[in-house]
Chain A
């Protein structure tokens, strides 16, 4: 295993670093390593969580190909592509935020966090419009689902629409959690919590935010692009 064992405590720790050191860690480096590994482990859990839905998607897309093709006619590729672009931009601003924190540039950090939040909000607003369109077209399973244009696919299409809502909905919930975390970071940054000695929370939220983006990068082609066109 590559990781070293716990460093001996009497390595030099500057007083600035010591403020942020939790009692049970020996050095800031160890604390950072632990936080990073913890976050990655959590993200692996998330992969498996979404994995259950991706597996279901694979099964039903294979079983009911015709119905799947018909559902993709209802997907608004323009909005989906816009959202993809928005999210990629938000990932960039998030990465810039992390960089700013590492360089102790407080004002820049707050600015980038706000930009990321704005992109995230745009994504959710667009998603809400898409959901609203689906509602108007009676395409939400459980809320008076109707599928008049392709009645032969009515039942199977319902399952595929459910998967669409389950996957994008779960993704949207993760986005909302992410926005909450970003707001918390912004407040803490305003309170001068982060500097070159301590920026772990910014980096961890950054990892989470990139993960949520990557989920969308998979959802977009699977749900919008590879249907019947």
Chain B
């Protein structure tokens, strides 16, 4: 590869694209180009990912010893900040604000999102939210867990709850604005001929995500605000001493935070649909069902929050309803997995790095999803609630699912975003390392969980040590696995070989334009004449 790059004559003037059209910090900080904003987001969330990851490494070190290594105070702050940073500042914006921000206008054939300035505002809100949260970390952190359960967070905790809650409140609006922009863009900005039935599935899944962001996040915002009032003025709304109801807090919190886990997985599912189809050179199996299942997930996600509260003493009939609905939401997720698998049937499969991440995703998401059945079932939830079983389950979905999809998507569209290729050998190697490290970290936690080890414990009975040591060892491998792509991506930006417009031979509007794209994406508005994933006419795609 390197030799080929060398042979390209350096004299040709570089073509104008969104990256080199303007220079200087102002051209970035005041940009309204969705692609530049996506890049701003990419840097910001990567920084947050490593902040959150560092905390994880530190508390995994603590758990090497049954009696712990750090003080309980330090440990509690580490796991709380890990959760807050990873959920609100990494996972929620991860794919929507970066890949989708970059790709949705291109995929629907538009010059930009419907509201470019709102898009920039959303990034500034994100930065403001992150600043509040980082302030809380620098001042000593928060020790409430990412769930902020009252009355501990409102009355008892002596940590920087207020700053973190405000950080989440502000970052929440950034998420709302992103979702709003996607919804309007998909409805109103589609190019001529781009019907709903021709939209790429990545657009469908981000549209569904947008609905959740717009409908769920405001409830989290008001909850954080009420919590802040409770903390500042002791108004009593969540204080059982004067009749406040801590369970109300949990209802309001999970009304957002359960749909939020679908904000954290739906866009990843969209990425997988794109990649699996491209590297099988085959149209997606059951397009309508995959698209419809995204919408079904978005709708059902709003009626399952009560399954976080089976053991709080909510009425058994409430529990019954929420348990049933939780099984319902498993169906559309299963449909997707089956369709991805079926897409490979009679395909022509190549094993480039993005495809390796697809294998990782399907494997880990299947395990993560199926262990969700243990938690949706009332009786087994009682046995596993609040243990490492839950921790393992949601890491399989969030990290095994979303982070794998995010990395897969990044490897898939990196040539489009930067115009450069990354070293294939290193990227395959790191994909393997991440897969091994991930399983070593989190699989033992299923076993620990059913043995009864509670989550959020700074110290634990000695018989749990072996599995904890395994988990910590896995975490160190996982950490290295995440660092390698970081290094070669940065390297490839400058030194990587030129990618060309369509290195994967993929269908889709984004592959028919220049890499990196120009500021307005298309020289003239494209007119769409065929459905997505039209790999039957591969020669046409490759031009």
Contact between chain A and chain B defined by CB under 8 Å: yes
Report the stretch among A44-52, A76-84, A107-115 that lies at the interface: A44-52
Interface-located stretch among B142-150, B237-245, B428-436: B237-245
- Residue of B193, B237, B251 with highest tally of chain A CB at under 10 A: B237
- For residue A142, CB closer than 8 A to chain B, the reply is yes
Listed from nearest, the 7 A-B pairs whose CB atoms lie closest are A142-B233, A52-B222, A155-B242, A49-B218, A162-B235, A24-B111, A24-B112
Q: Which of A1, A52, A63 contacts B252 (CB 8 A)?
A: A52
CB distance B188 to A37 under 8 Å? yes
Q: Is the CB of B226 within 8 A of A24?
A: no
Residues of B within 8 A of A38 (CB): 114-115, 118, 180-181, 184
Known: A24-B111, A38-B114, A45-B218. A3 touches B188 (CB 8 A): yes
Judge if A229 is at the interface, Cβ distance under 8 Å.
Answer: no
B244, A48: Cβ atoms closer than 8 Å: no
Provide the residues of chain B in CB contact with A142, threshold 8 Å: 229, 232-235
Q: Can you list 13 residue pairs at the A/B interface with Cβ under 8 Å?
A: A3-B187, A6-B109, A6-B190, A9-B525, A50-B222, A52-B222, A52-B223, A53-B226, A56-B226, A56-B248, A155-B236, A159-B237, A166-B226
CA distance A155 to B237 in the complex (A): 10
Measured CA separation A158–B221 after assembly (Å)? 22
Residues from 143 to 183 in A contacting B, C-beta threshold 8 Å: 143, 155-156, 158-159, 162-163, 166
Besides A5-B193, A159-B237, 9 more A-B contacts (Cβ < 8 Å) are: A5-B192, A9-B525, A24-B189, A34-B189, A37-B184, A48-B216, A49-B218, A56-B248, A162-B229
Known: A41-B180, A56-B237, A142-B235. A155 touches B243 (CB 8 A): yes
Closest to A42 in B: B180
Chain B residues 190 to 219 lying within 8 A of chain A, measured CB to CB, are 190-196, 214-219
A59/B248 contact (C-beta < 8 A), A6-B110, A41-B180 known? yes
With A6-B190, A34-B189, A56-B252 known as contacts, the answer to whether A23 contacts B525 (CB < 8 A) is no
- Expressed in whole angstroms, the minimum distance between the Cβ of B340 and any Cβ of chain A is 26
Closest to B230 in A: A162
Q: Is B520's CB within 8 Å of the partner chain A?
A: yes
Question: Does A128 touch B at the CB level, under 8 Å?
Answer: no
Contact of B214 among A23, A45, A155 (CB under 8 A): A45
Query: Is the CB–CB distance between A34 and B188 below 8 Å?
Result: yes
**B226 pairs with A158, CB closer than 8 A:** no
Query: Which of chain A's residues have a CB closer than 8 A to the CB of B166?
Result: none
A-side contacts of B218, CB under 8 Å: 45-46, 48-49, 51-52
| Chain B residue contacts of A33, Cβ below 8 A | 188
- The reply on B183 being an interface residue by CB < 8 A is yes
Known contacts A23-B111, A41-B214, A48-B219; is-contact A34 B184 (Cβ 8 Å): yes
Verify if A64 is at the interface (C-beta below 8 Å from B). yes
| Measured CA separation A156–B218 after assembly (Å) | 26
Q: Verify if B91 is at the interface (C-beta below 8 Å from A).
A: no
Contact A159:B226 (CB < 8 A) given known A23-B111, A37-B183, A37-B184:
no
A141 at the interface (CB under 8 A from B): yes
Report A-chain residues with C-beta under 8 Å of the C-beta of B194.
Answer: 5-6
Question: Contacts of B116 on A, CB cut-off 8 Å?
Answer: 24
Counting CB contacts under 8 A, is B176 at the interface? yes
Question: How long is the Cα–Cα vector from A59 to B176 in the complex, in angstroms?
Answer: 26
Q: Which residues of the other chain, A, contact B226 by a CB distance below 8 angstroms?
A: 52-53, 56, 166
Given contact pairs A8-B192, A44-B214, A46-B218, A34 touches B520 in the complex (Cβ within 8 A)? no
How many Å lie between the Cα of A34 and that of B188 in the bound state? Answer: 6
Within the complex, what minimum Cβ distance (angstroms) separates B197 from chain A? 10
Contact of A70 with B by CB under 8 A: no
Residues of chain A lying within 8 A (CB to CB) of residue B232: 142
For A22, give the chain B residue with the smallest CB separation: B116
Contact at A59–B245, with CB atoms within 8 Å? Answer: yes
Q: Do B111 and A158 touch across chains, with their CB atoms under 8 A apart?
A: no
Cβ-based interface call for A122 (8 A): no
Determine whether A215 belongs to the interface, using a CB cutoff of 8 Å to chain B.
no
A51 touches B242 (CB 8 A): no
Write the B267-307 contact mask toward A (1 if CB under 8 angstroms, else 0). 00000000000000000000000000000000000000000
Closest-by-CB residue of A relative to B188 is A34
- Cα-based distance from A158 to B192 in the complex (angstroms): 58
Smallest CB separation, B110 vs chain A (Å): 7
Complex contacts, B223 vs chain A, CB 8 Å? 52
Name the residue of chain A whose CB is nearest to the CB of B185: A34
Instruction: Give, as a whole number of angstroms, the nearest-CB distance from A105 to chain B.
Output: 29
Q: CA A155 – CA B219 in complex, angstroms?
A: 25
Contact partners of B234 in chain A: CB under 8 A = 141-142
* A77-B232 Cα distance, complex, nearest whole Å: 30
Q: Cβ of B243 and Cβ of A64 under 8 Å apart?
A: yes
CA–CA, A51 and B215, complex, Å: 10
Measured CB to CB, the closest approach of chain A to B69, in angstroms, equals 40
Residue of A nearest to B180 (CB): A41
CA distance in complex: A206, B453 (Å)? 56
**A121 on the B face (CB < 8 A):** no
Which residues of B in the span 82-138 have a Cβ within 8 Å of any Cβ on A? 109-112, 114-116, 118
- The reply to whether A41 and B196 form a contact with Cβ atoms under 8 Å apart is no
In the complex the two chains form, is A141's CB within 8 Å of B233's CB? Answer: yes
A156 touching B180 by the CB < 8 A rule?
no
Chain A minimum-CB-distance residue to B108: A6
A-side contacts of B114, CB under 8 Å: 24, 34, 38
Within the complex, what minimum Cβ distance (angstroms) separates A25 from chain B?
A: 8
**Is the CB of A89 closer than 8 A to any CB of chain B?**
no
Q: Which of A5, A6, A33, A155 has the most CB of B within 10 A?
A: A5
A48: chain B residues at CB < 8 Å are 215-216, 218-219
* Distance in angstroms between the alpha carbons of A46 and B176 in the assembled complex: 11
| Min C-beta distance of A13 to chain B, whole Å | 14
Instruction: Select B192's contact among A6, A51, A53, A60, beta carbons within 8 Å.
Output: A6
B252 touches A162 (CB 8 A): no
- Closest residue of B by beta carbon distance from A33: B188
A159 and B243 in contact (CB under 8 A), knowing A1-B196, A41-B180, A142-B234?
Answer: yes
Q: Of all chain B residues, which has the CB nearest A55?
A: B252
B236 touches A162 (CB 8 A): yes
CB distance from A154 to the nearest CB of B (A): 8
A197 interfacial by beta-carbon distance below 8 Å:
no
A69 at the interface (CB under 8 A from B): no
0/1 interface trace, chain A 20-36, chain B, CB 8 Å (1 if under): 00011010001001100
**What is the bound-complex CA distance between A86 and B223, given in angstroms?**
31
